[in-house]
Amino acid sequence: MSASAVNREEEEERTPTSLQLSAPVPQLRRRKLVLHLDLNNTILVSDAATGQGPRAALNSYLSTVAWGRVNDAGEWKLISDLPTVRPPSPDAVNYYVQFGRDGHFIDSEIGRRFKGIFRRYMELLEWKGEADELFTQRGEDRKLYHWILPSFFHLLHSLHQQGRPFTIILRTFGTDLPHVLRSVHSALAGKHPHFPHMQEVPLSVDLSPGKIRCSKREMVLTHGSDRVSTKGEERNIYDYFTNMSGIGGFQDHFDWWARNSFTSSGGKPFWIDPNDHNLHILIDDNIRLGEHDTIVNCRVLLDKQKGKEYRKAATSELYDVCLVQTDLLKAIAEKDYFLDCVQVCEENYERYLQSFLLE
């Protein structure tokens, strides 16, 4: 089945995601984009750290977009056969919240109702051609699949064609970064069989990933010989990210997130500065509206003359403004998915700034 056919069918079957354009904002300023992208279930459908191939990873993702309701007897009952990023009703409870992520979701009694969707997206992931060490993965069924989603490469090429200034920062708790950076570097050299035109994109790739480590006292970024801490000034890591060029990557602090019970307090630190002419956007499948169950610790930098360096921002304040919860099914099926995310965020960010300046 072709991607366009799947897209048409999905438009009929699925409820819309939260990414919707409001009335257009006239004359948007062309800000530099600093795009922070997660790896697993955002640009990859696999996870080396957990040993998940594409089948298990897609199963696991589907278990996070299936919604039910707990009845008076305390039983969880599915309320929709349509996978959606956001809950279809205020009292909806996510399957994975109730039962945990499930790498065999479609083989369960509940999950089997999603088998048709699962098959369609696995077909879209299939690689056409010979195996490639850098761009293919062997699935659990021994078939070849794309390792890095084509929509990611389309994002890079399209932003370049638009003449946009942009930086890509890959952010992950996992162990895939070195391999991903090598693969992207090779693609930009024109070696991707499906994207030979990527050599037109003049982006450098830093093949040595850095780390971000957190504690109660400070957050520390290390990258080669560089060491940057928030202890001296909250905005230090933000400035480091803003001044980066090309493509780089950082391993975030999973143990800190776990020690903070997987809440926003221990999540990936992410800063925005409403007084700066740059737009930072974080796209991650684990961004969620509830602070008790989200992967991002979002901090809004403030004018120090007002006596405070930053304030903590709830995910709901910046959802689809600077924070995007990945719709993996769209990322697989739609080549423009990440571009659409950027467009929505740019327009919503201008509205956010208008309200911010009124505070």
In the block, which residue shows the tokens 């997660």? 38
Residue 172 burial class via C-beta count within 10 angstroms: exposed 0-12, middle 13-18, buried 19 and up = buried
Q: What span, in angstroms and rounded, lies between the C-alpha atoms of 262 and 268?
A: 10
Residue type for position 331? A
> Can you give the pLDDT at residue 40?
95
> Can you give the pLDDT at residue 8?
43
> Can you give the pLDDT at residue 307?
65
> Can you give the pLDDT at residue 358?
55
Q: Is there a contact between 297 and 264 (Cβ–Cβ < 8 Å)?
A: yes
Query: How many Cα atoms sit within 13 Å of 237 on the Cβ side?
Result: 27
Give residue-wise pLDDT tens across range 268-304: 999 999 999 999 999 999 999 877 889 999 999 998 7
Residues lower than pLDDT 70 in the chain: 1-29, 305-307, 356-359
Residue type for position 180? V
Dihedral of CA atoms 20, 26, 29, 30 in degrees, nearest 10, equals 60
| CA-closest candidate to residue 145, choices 129, 164, 163 | 129
> Which tokens go with 207?
């093949």
Q: What span, in angstroms and rounded, lies between the C-alpha atoms of 51 and 47?
A: 6
Query: How many Cα atoms sit within 13 Å of 341 on the Cβ side?
Result: 30
> Can you give the pLDDT at residue 293?
82
Task: Provide CB contacts within 8 A for 304, sequence distance 6+.
Answer: none
